[in-house]
């Protein structure tokens, strides 16, 4: 679910979910088997390519080539975003979209640098208006559903992996059993190697055109992923405040980029992600470079409401989906229980990319919304991203 869904009448949501459940022929709780031998995928074409972003360039030029290459796809995807948002009939969403479409070209002064100039550069290179680029970026701030894991092997080496699920309620195709937005997003996924002076500063997974960060690694220092947190005081409220001139909250994707650029330790990253006011609530999952350094930071818009450390969990791993760890997940969206079961079946002896990739490839952790699985190992500084597809029968979210 998304913050948008929380504003919808629950009586309207449940029938939609039940129709999808009926079509798929699946009812929770799930009895799926934990898969084995999923890594590496047999389809090498599913390995996401890498794009180098030169931070020494002026911000307006950094994304220029990518925006030119993907401009038509960004336009098509933005059109779909807006169509599906308007189909909800949600007055708040429509008001935001209409305002940004009308006022967007004069709003670069309201955005922090260098992000304002980066968006301006994308707009120029792709042929979109600045308001459209802002709308496109805002969708990624509030529409992600995910599973993130930090795990430690017997030698104390830390691995961080995540599934990014995107597109819930955005165009269910009854015939093909797919989400239209999810399918359109996969060709937009790429790894970005952020460099200064020809050297890597950090690496991240991006949807082309989105300049914030949801998944990233600062080699040798820490790893980071963001999962959406559902809260009534959610992202749309923060966005409206931002539009009305209240700028105390930071965009989530800008906060994560700043953290990767300026934080030089696991503890610095934790502090920054814990204290900074944001537009939207979130879960930040952070992994360090030393034994026991893994945590889930549960955020409201103003501050952390909980920091759950791997040591506090009493495990060799820590796992987060989209629900507060001290509460039960929604019964029709319980990815947590099967993910924990598969992790325990894997055991610490098998911590590594193959084992964790198997967990993230097991249904319903893998579902129809899953666009990619990213694998990070902090000591080696490696980031590997694979497009993911869930064959039928498969839970829709």
Active site residue ranges: 146
For 100, what's the count of Cα atoms within 13 Å in the CB-facing half-sphere?
26
Give the largest Cα separation in the chain, rounded: 56
In this structure, how many other beta carbons lie within 10 angstroms of the beta carbon of residue 320?
A: 26
Q: Identify whether the C-beta of residue 294 lies closer than 8 Å to the C-beta of residue 162.
A: no
The length of the chain is 397
Distances (CA, A) of 191 to 48, 50, 63, 182, 362: 7, 4, 13, 18, 23
Q: Which two tokens stand for residue 136?
A: 């496109």
C-alpha closest to that of 28 among 385, 340, 329, 354: 329
Q: Which two tokens stand for residue 47?
A: 């390995």
**3-class SS at 83?**
helix
Sheet holding 382-387, edge to edge: 317-320, 144-152, 158-166, 370-377, 382-387
């Amino acid at each position: 679910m998304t913050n948008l869904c929380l504003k919808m009448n629950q009586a309207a949501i449940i029938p939609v979910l039940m129709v999808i459940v009926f079509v798929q022929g699946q009812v929770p709780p799930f009895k799926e088997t934990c898969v084995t031998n999923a890594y590496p995928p047999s389809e090498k074409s599913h390995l996401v390519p890498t794009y180098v972003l030169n931070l020494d360039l002026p911000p307006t030029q950094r994304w220029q080539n990518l925006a030119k290459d993907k401009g038509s796809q960004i336009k098509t995807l933005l059109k779909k975003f807006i169509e599906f948002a308007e189909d909800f009939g949600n007055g708040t969403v429509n008001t935001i979209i209409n305002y940004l479409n009308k006022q967007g070209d004069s709003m670069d002064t309201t955005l922090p640098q260098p992000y304002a100039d980066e968006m301006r550069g994308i707009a120029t290179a792709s042929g979109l208006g600045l308001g459209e680029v802002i709308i496109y970026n805002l969708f990624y701030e509030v529409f992600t559903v995910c599973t993130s894991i930090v795990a430690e092997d017997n030698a104390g080496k830390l691995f961080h992996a995540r599934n990014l699920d995107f597109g819930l309620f955005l165009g269910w195709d009854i015939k093909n059993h797919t989400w239209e937005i999810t399918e359109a997003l996969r060709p937009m996924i790429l790894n970005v190697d952020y460099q200064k002076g020809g050297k890597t500063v950090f690496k991240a997974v991006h949807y082309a055109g989105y300049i914030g960060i949801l998944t990233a690694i600062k080699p040798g220092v820490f790893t980071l992923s963001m999962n959406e947190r559902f809260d009534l005081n959610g992202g749309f409220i923060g966005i409206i405040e931002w539009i009305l001139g209240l700028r105390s909250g930071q965009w989530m994707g800008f906060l994560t980029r700043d953290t990767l650029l300026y934080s030089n330790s696991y503890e610095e990253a934790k502090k920054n992600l814990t204290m900074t006011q944001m537009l939207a609530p979130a879960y930040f999952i952070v992994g360090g470079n030393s034994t026991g350094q893994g945590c889930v930071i549960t955020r409201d818009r103003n501050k952390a409401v909980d920091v759950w450390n791997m040591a506090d969990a009493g495990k060799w791993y820590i796992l987060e989906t989209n629900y507060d760890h001290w509460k039960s997940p929604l019964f029709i969206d319980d990815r947590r229980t099967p993910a924990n079961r598969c992790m325990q079946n894997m055991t610490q002896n098998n911590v590594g990319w193959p084992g964790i990739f198997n967990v993230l490839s097991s249904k319903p952790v893998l579902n129809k919304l899953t666009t990619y699985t990213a694998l990070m190992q902090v000591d080696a500084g490696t980031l590997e991203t694979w497009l993911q597809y869930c064959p039928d029968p498969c839970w829709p979210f």
